[in-house]
Amino acid sequence: MFSYKRRVKYYETDRMGVVHHSNYLKIIEEARIKWCDDNIMKYSEMEKRGCIIPAASASENFLSYLRFDDPFRVEVELKKFQGIKMTFNYKIFNEDTEELCYTGESTHFFANDCGNERYLPYISFRKDFPDEYQKLKLLSSEV
């Protein structure tokens, strides 16, 4: 299981003093990019080679609250890799209390960075990134 750790920033909270719901997607994105950097290749390098990984879907469950300066960790798991797309599971825990605060899932696909937002053609990740493709197959809990 991959873990990403940091503290809640003040700007991520709302008037009630808790992390605003919209920031959880940003937090899991941070964690997923760090997961890619550490396990596959630097995401910036992937983009330089013409590959982007847009989101196709995301779902979230808010179970408890994180507040400003709370230390937390995001556990990231590659649940499924199907060559063209992949699905991640996330759990966010308060590091002080070990309370599970959030669970989520996101699905992404590999596309050419063609600069046209209306049309993102799939790429053959297996052909264009063969080493990284093999790494993803090995890391996936469900192929």
Which of these is catalytic: 14, 70, 96, 113? 14
Q: How far apart are the first and last CA of the chain?
A: 17
Tokens at residue 96, please? 């002080």
CA distance 61 to 74: 14
Active site residue 38: no
Tokens at residue 136, please? 């993803």
* 53 CB burial (10 A radius; 0-12, 13-18, 19+): buried
Q: Residue 1 CB: number of other CB atoms within 10 A?
A: 7
CA distance 25 to 122: 23
Say whether 142 sits in a helix, a strand or coil. Answer: strand
Active site residues: 14
